[in-house]
Structure 1
Amino acid sequence: MTSARGAVRAGVLTAALAALLCTTATTVSAASTESPSPQPAAVQADVPAGVTAGVAVFDRQTGTFTEQVNSAAQFRSASVVKLLIALDVLWNRSPDTLSATDRARIDTMLRGSDDPAASTFWSNNGSGAIVDRMVTRLGLTDTARPPSTHPGFWGYTALSARDTVKIYRHLLDAAPAATRDYLLGNLRQSTRCATDGYDQHFGIAGSFNRPWAVKQGWSGFSSGGCTAPTTAAAKAADADEAAGEPAGGAAARTSAGADAVDLSRPALHSTGVVGSGDRSIVAVYTLHPSGTSYGKAYTDIGRLTRSLNVPGASRPAGTWIGTWGSGVRVRTQATTESGTITTLPAGVEVLVGCQKRGQQVSQPPYVNDWWAHLPQYGGYITNIYLSVPDNQVPGVPVC
């Protein structure tokens, strides 16, 4: 077999590997049980450089927060507001009373983060009045309808991490059982590829083993890296959350509620419940420097989420490794002839469980017959696209 690593990339990859080993490339053993993590003496959230974050982790078993970082700070919600849209639809009614059409809309809105479905409910049910009603009903303190300059853009609703915890606490502890089971059931079925072609299994979904239920949000990116949308509605949606936000993002900060909400920087949010009995509620809101790629933001929110003290969480085994290239395919087997499961966001960090020899792949000037198994995707990528200096990754077991 010909060596796959030439001098062209050796220096860059060696530096990347050194940085990776210093930050995230340690092997994490999966817990055999979902025992709670110890209470920290202080906040342990590790916010990546350049990232603005709002974080809250609430342990329902003890009734206490284990993490709070800027938890009252307002962020534009992106698709997280779909939780409020769905709760408003079901307020004082059972899911069984929904029409087949509305039920299908809620299903795809929560599982695939479908924007046209959210826009239909937003338009039909009063737009910003939806947010006003839910603020009153749930006692939210940092949540506000979109600014008057953008009334139709539900993605500009202001939300905070601590208010998001309140939303999930209502859903878990106060909402009728039928509503709780229906909405959480949809969040447990979050699809890796959203209907607009974005990989939405970042943050909570990438950091912890199931059981979890998530509602994610993204805004201000040009490409989400997943396989192409399959529906006409999804193809019509743009990369900035369709009617949730103007194409390309706004160019300024606009006030929403009491504080100024940043409508410009790329936003990536991960919210949901984690662990047996939905023990922990996790809300992670992030803003990234202008021009940040989706893969970089995806990696940064993953590192932040993995650093958190989340009682009841079980963490997947493997080694986190950066990738390079765009449109990298995850395949069912270690061959280029096998089926494509999805594609990776460009430059994203992935969890590698093991590696094996398979078909030799040539990507000049590199040649390699080692393939990495990605347990969270259920498939393989050629080791050529791992940001490491050798064909075979040191320290990663053979499959």
Structure 2
Amino acid sequence: MFDRKVGRIVLARQARRTFRSASVVKILIALDYLERHRASAADRVLLASMLRSSDDQAATEFWRRGGQAQIIERMVRKAGLAETAPPPAEKPGFWGYTALSAGDVVKTYRYLLEAKAGDFVMEQLRKATPCGKDGFDQTFGIPRALKRPWAVKQGWSGFGDVPAERCRGVRPAAWAPDLGIGRPVLHTTGVVGDKIVVVLTLQPAGSSFGAASARITALTRDVYRAS
């Protein structure tokens, strides 16, 4: 957790541990595109869907346009990221296999809040929909644990292509990064008032989405209170 008022990290645990990004990488995809192109009205609709509702097809389209791994390489340089790396060479199209750390996600949000393209991205994250485009509930973590104002980008991977219980829309490099393949990941990241909150989790193998969602929401609440 980074407190923007005092300008420093106020709570951290394993901040440099790498995770596969799942949909959190969509922030980097959006920033890279907006900083390199004059986005058309159609582009903005697609970007909004990618950021608000975690639209995977939109992400794949911008990933292709940006040159896949080149997106990550550019954003690593721009934002000064240390533990972020493109997907493995044998899986170039798997944008969700980008490696990142909680520390780097904090750096990404700090970059985002100062970037020219940041206003558009933040506007979409403030309007995150209760349900993802794929039917998964997006209200775990920050949205359930903490009061507004917040702007969030969630991430999930390893729970199958279709949720067991479909979301109903009710709101409550030179190193080989560890991507935790074989275990589900569930991430909640965002800006809550003056704080940047990043909680990345590698869940036990076989976890249901509901159980993992409850764990990360409770953890997020504890993290915020501890700061």
User: 2:212 matched to 1:268?
Assistant: no
Alpha-carbon distance in structure 2 between the residues aligned to 1:293 and 1:100:
38
User: 2:30 matched to 1:86?
Assistant: yes
When residues 68 and 187 of structure 1 are mapped into structure 2, their CA distance, relative to the original with a 3 A threshold, is same
Residue among 51, 63, 75 paired with 2:7: 63
C-alpha contact 1:200 1:216 (8 A) present in aligned 2: yes
Displaced runs of 4 or more, over 4 A: none
RMSD of aligned alpha carbons: 1.9
User: 2:93 matched to 1:175?
Assistant: no
TM-score normalised by length of structure 1: 0.53
Which structure 2 residues correspond to residues 133-212 of structure 1 after superposition, within 5 A? 133-172=74-113, 174-176=114-116, 179-212=117-150
* Structure number with higher helix proportion: 2
Alpha-carbon distance in structure 2 between the residues aligned to 1:188 and 1:260:
30
Partner AA of 1:226 in structure 2:
R
Q: CA deviation at 1:116?
A: 0.1
C-alpha contact 1:274 1:281 (8 A) present in aligned 2: yes
User: 2:135 matched to 1:220?
Assistant: no
When residues 185 and 311 of structure 1 are mapped into structure 2, their CA distance, relative to the original with a 3 A threshold, is farther
Partner AA of 1:148 in structure 2:
A
Q: CA deviation at 1:181?
A: 1.7
Alpha-carbon distance in structure 2 between the residues aligned to 1:287 and 1:259:
14
Residue among 49, 55, 79 paired with 1:108: 49
Which structure 2 residues correspond to residues 1-399 of structure 1 after superposition, within 5 A? 57-92=1-36, 97-172=38-113, 174-176=114-116, 179-222=117-160, 223=163, 225-227=165-167, 257-275=175-193, 279-309=194-224
Q: CA deviation at 1:85?
A: 0.1
List runs of 5+ in structure 2 lacking aligned partners. none
Q: CA deviation at 1:311?
A: 9.0
List runs of 5+ in structure 1 lacking aligned partners. 1-56, 230-254, 313-399
Q: CA deviation at 1:258?
A: 3.6
Higher relative contact order (CA 8 A, sep 6+): 2
The SS at the match of 2:109 is helix
The SS at the match of 1:159 is strand
Alpha-carbon distance in structure 2 between the residues aligned to 1:130 and 1:136:
10
When residues 292 and 211 of structure 1 are mapped into structure 2, their CA distance, relative to the original with a 3 A threshold, is same
Q: Deviations over 1:110-162 (max 9, x none)?
A: 00000000000011110011001100111100000001121110000001000
